[in-house]
Chain A
């Protein structure tokens, strides 16, 4: 990938944040599901 971009578009931002955000949200949800055992 080169650095010759002509500005960041909304699509770039959505893709970049989705790339890191989706796995993170999935992991957090798994943790919260497991944590419910603490208060059962």
Chain B
């Protein structure tokens, strides 16, 4: 039996479930580097010119596509390979994610060395993006199965790692580039190679540690609620049947709208803070602002997902949409009174809810569709992230430009955008309010499940489990 097979990852008696969150964090802290990719943008525009961009150097607009391609392939691969991840087990998925993610860095290093941008698009964008997608969803359903008593907190811990990965990658990348750079050479290629090697080791350690619980395992002392809960099913829904339910698409919109509002701000946070507070917020302070709201993005992932275990997923999203709407409406006012502190506070809470939206959604899916295919369904749902990744920045950037072109002062150019974001959150509130329990006709029947399991064993060609 392969070391990577799901059967080899079933925990033996005495295994502590608290070993699984670090395994998940090993993956998410690495792939979270994606949020820090922008540290390479400027150095990559000077690969030929070294001190300043030469005519043959790459432009920022060309480099911007690297991140966009990676995020597109994150959503696409999570959707396409979700079922494979779920059925093959977390270890196989984590090892594959590590190979794709690190391989992407190696290809990109070759691309930098040979000055071939398409190699970076394929390397970091396509292979790295697939590594992102596989890595993002691989530990989620495993954690939900280990923590049936606190699924929100468990997935919150892992997905918090995705937000935290940038905090490690950003200073590490800058330090490595300084080490490898010379007066005639920018050390980007060597930095990519080092990062690839470090991430491969880290992710494979996570793959070695991870375990799945034995069938029907429950934590000591935990008794599943006897009385049926309206919005928490005890049944499972098959991955492709979930797509036929209105609940899946309502949650898709809930995630998409919540992310759209936050991601647009994240991308423009530095410029926005400087333009809304001219003379008060310097470039250095703006960088600090970006770091601070990224920190709240990370902490919100754990905080809100843990809160959702107490107040329920639906109520948690109601909090995001109500509080978010109020705060977005308040932002222009903070600018008008010149209060940087209130401005920072508003965005700190907004970004905590942006992160919270990501980390609460796996548990929401588990409540709706059961644990059996939650990883695969989560993979499908991540297409909402890809859509929001386009929608959010486009909304913020184009509306700002339109305002400025029409003579609105830069300090007020974001006001309309903030009101539109608040409007999006109101639509999100309505979508969330429409979510009801999944109709029982979508639930997997016991014979249906046995039939499918038999087909899977036959397809695997490993009936003896040798």
Contact = CB atoms under 8 A, between A and B. Distances in A.
Contact of B25 (A20, A27, A40): A20
A34 B16 contact: no
A7 B22 contact: no
A31 B294 contact: yes
A24 to B, nearest CB: 5
Interface in B1-17: 3, 8-16
Contact of B171 (A7, A13, A17, A30): A30
Interface in A1-40: 1-8, 12-13, 16-17, 19-21, 23-24, 26-28, 30-32, 34-40
Contacts of A12: 16, 19
Given A4-B12, A6-B12, A8-B16, A19 B168 contact: no
A2 B164 CA distance: 29
B292 A23 contact: no
A19 B19 CA distance: 11
With most chain B CB atoms within 10 A of its CB, the pick from A7, A8, A21 is: A8
Given A3-B10, A20-B161, A36 B22 contact: no
Contact of B15 (A7, A17, A32): A7
A37 B286 CA distance: 8
A39 B23 CA distance: 37
A38 B211 contact: no
Contacts of B282: 37
B8 A3 contact: yes
Contact of A26 (B8, B168, B281): B168
A21 B405 CA distance: 47
Contacts of B3: 2
B288 A37 contact: yes
A20 B288 CA distance: 24
B218 interface: no
B88 interface: no
Nearest to B204: A1
A40 B14 CA distance: 51
A13 B289 CA distance: 34
A32 B291 CA distance: 7
B15 A19 contact: no
Nearest to A16: B22
A30 to B, nearest CB: 5
Contacts of A8: 14-16, 18-19
A30 B155 CA distance: 25
A5 B15 contact: yes
A20 to B, nearest CB: 4
A1 to B, nearest CB: 4
A36 to B, nearest CB: 7
Nearest to B198: A23
A3 B3 CA distance: 9
Given A34-B287, A37-B284, A38-B292, A27 B16 contact: no
10 contacts: A1-B209, A3-B11, A5-B14, A24-B161, A28-B167, A35-B289, A38-B281, A38-B340, A39-B341, A40-B285
Interface of B: 3, 8-16, 18-19, 22-23, 25-26, 29, 161, 164, 166-168, 170-171, 205, 208-209, 211, 281-282, 284-289, 291-292, 294-295, 298, 340-341, 344
The 3 closest A-B pairs by CB, nearest first: A7-B14, A27-B167, A8-B16
